[in-house]
Amino acid sequence: MRRARFSALNMEDLNDRLVPAQLVDLTTVDAEAFVADGAIVRQVDAQPTGTGHIHSFVRLQGAASGGGSEQGYNTSARPLQFDENKSPQFTRNVKLSQVPVVMENGIAYREFLLDVNQKSSASRISLDDVRIFTSGVENLSGYDAVAKTLSGLAPVFDLDAAGDVTVLLDARLNAGSGSGDMALLVPDAAFANSDQNDFLYLYSRLGARAGATANGGFEEWAVRTGGGTTSGGTGSISGSVWLDNDLNGIRDDFNVGILGVTITLQGVNDLGQTVVLTATTDADGNYSFQNLRPGTYTLIETQPDDLLDGTDFVGSLGGTLSGTDSIVDIHLGDAMHGLNYDFSEWFLSNT
């Protein structure tokens, strides 16, 4: 895989994860580089289009009529602050639990996709700022460019955290819109203090660099809603969600299953494919993911309304509890079956 080219101002090797370059050049196929806080930016091949595969959550179109820069962030708040498309189809809420977890060299990352669109005669565009915020509030607004905050919140990730970074992209490397041009992989550790049900806000600014201004179409950020494959696999991961009525942390006759809870499985299989699947618990509180290929997976529970979070349980294949309602680093081999990956809840009256 090719590494990105950097400007002469860069005096460090990004493979050693030292101070990032002033300019990260992703204008060649498969170029990639480390940036702030161990995040990775990578030129990617076209991703599948359509709502069944990617979920776009913010679209910027402020410079569609001519060269210039554009900026904005996703939110359900209206009116919008900057150059965001006002349609809720293109600029909307997204929860942290909807952002896939992928594994790279044993490190868990959250994956974001950026699609850019430029005139063929001037196809380069710069990505100048990226800041990510999380909050339990679904309609934040009021980005402050000086303080670099959103509604007073500091970012959990900032592309410029270790110095002013610009990423250079070339729209000609991938044909058409809605296909994805760059992947941003942010270490999952950046979200250690965030809840899986928190809303995620991604602010970005593009086209501020001379010779790489926004000049046509739109730019949008998205996450995958599906990928990988369940066909041909022989493994499974299963568990249950139940009410811990007697608060003893043990599922017994006093503790009943909860119907209709969403469990998300994310990870990367042995073919290198990103897998994002969901299951819903049955009347007994049980869920199961079948026909899985070998890989490393994460389970995320969507917290049921009107219940308090109880104890979560790592199942038979091991793994690690991570934050609230998340079990990461589950290593599934061929024909292996992970059992008893359970999530318990409490009634409010039990506290």
Do the Cβ atoms of 143 and 149 come closer than 8 Å? yes
Domain presence at residue 229 = no
Clarify whether residues 208 and 285 are in a common domain: no
Phi, psi of 165 (to 5 degrees): -115, 135
Domain that holds residue 314: 235-350
Name the residue among 311, 331, 317 with its Cα closest to residue 270: 331
Of 39-53, 63-77, 172-186, 260-274, the poorest mean pLDDT is in 39-53
Of 224, 245, 262, which one is at a domain's C-terminal end? 224
- pLDDT confidence band for 259 (50 / 70 / 90): very high
Please tell me the predicted confidence (pLDDT) of residue 2. 47
- How many CB atoms lie under 10 A from the CB of residue 151? 16
Clarify whether residues 239 and 220 are in a common domain: no
CA angle 149, 154, 158 (to 5 degrees): 90
Domain presence at residue 45 = yes
Domain presence at residue 333 = yes
CA dihedral angle for residue 214, residue 215, residue 218, residue 220, rounded to 10 degrees: -20
According to DSSP, the residues that pair with 299 across neighbouring strands are 265, 327
Residue environment code for 240-253, b if the CB has 16+ CB neighbours within 10 A, otherwise e: bbbbbbeeeeebee
- pLDDT confidence band for 107 (50 / 70 / 90): confident
Taking the CA atoms of the chain, what radius of gyration do you get in angstroms?
21
Rounded to an integer, what distance in angstroms lies between the CA atom of residue 149 and that of residue 117?
28
Count of domains for the chain: 2
The residue type at 265: L
Rounded to an integer, what distance in angstroms lies between the CA atom of residue 96 and that of residue 191?
9
Of 98 and 253, the one with more pLDDT = 98
303 pLDDT above the threshold of 80: yes
Clarify whether residues 290 and 169 are in a common domain: no
231 pLDDT above the threshold of 70: no
Residue environment code for 54-72, b if the CB has 16+ CB neighbours within 10 A, otherwise e: bbbbbbbbbbbeeeebbbb
pLDDT tens column, 158-175: 999 989 999 999 999 876
Name the residue among 143, 153, 127, 152 with its Cα closest to residue 80: 143
Share of residues in the chain with pLDDT > 90 (%): 56
Phi, psi of 182 (to 5 degrees): -140, 140
Structural tokens at position 73 = 């962030």
Q: What is the CATH number of the domain that holds 317?
A: 2.60.40.10
Q: Which residue in the block uniquely carries the two structure tokens 């480390």?
A: 34
Please tell me the predicted confidence (pLDDT) of residue 285. 93
Mean of pLDDT values over 112-117: 93
Please tell me the predicted confidence (pLDDT) of residue 339. 96
The residue type at 87: S
Structural tokens at position 156 = 């959990």
Mean of pLDDT values over 10-22: 42
- pLDDT confidence band for 180 (50 / 70 / 90): low
13 pLDDT above the threshold of 80: no
Clarify whether residues 95 and 116 are in a common domain: yes
Query: How far from 174 is each of 27, 33, 44, 67, 110, CA to CA, in Å?
Result: 11, 19, 9, 21, 22
Of 109-113, 281-285, 298-302, 321-325, the poorest mean pLDDT is in 321-325
Clarify whether residues 185 and 76 are in a common domain: yes
- How many CB atoms lie under 10 A from the CB of residue 349? 7
Clarify whether residues 239 and 300 are in a common domain: yes
Clarify whether residues 193 and 90 are in a common domain: yes
Of 224, 251, 282, which one is at a domain's C-terminal end? 224
Please tell me the predicted confidence (pLDDT) of residue 217. 80
254 pLDDT above the threshold of 80: no
Do the Cβ atoms of 166 and 125 come closer than 8 Å? no
Clarify whether residues 173 and 256 are in a common domain: no
**Mean pLDDT of all residues in the chain?**
84
Name the residue among 168, 146, 156 with its Cα closest to residue 22: 168
Please tell me the predicted confidence (pLDDT) of residue 46. 52
Of 313 and 278, the one with more pLDDT = 313
Clarify whether residues 90 and 187 are in a common domain: yes
Rounded to an integer, what distance in angstroms lies between the CA atom of residue 202 and that of residue 197?
16
- pLDDT confidence band for 250 (50 / 70 / 90): confident
Rounded to an integer, what distance in angstroms lies between the CA atom of residue 71 and that of residue 205?
4
Clarify whether residues 148 and 288 are in a common domain: no
Clarify whether residues 131 and 194 are in a common domain: yes
Please tell me the predicted confidence (pLDDT) of residue 200. 97
Name the residue among 264, 223, 280 with its Cα closest to residue 93: 223
Clarify whether residues 239 and 218 are in a common domain: no
Indicate yes or no: pTM above 0.85: no
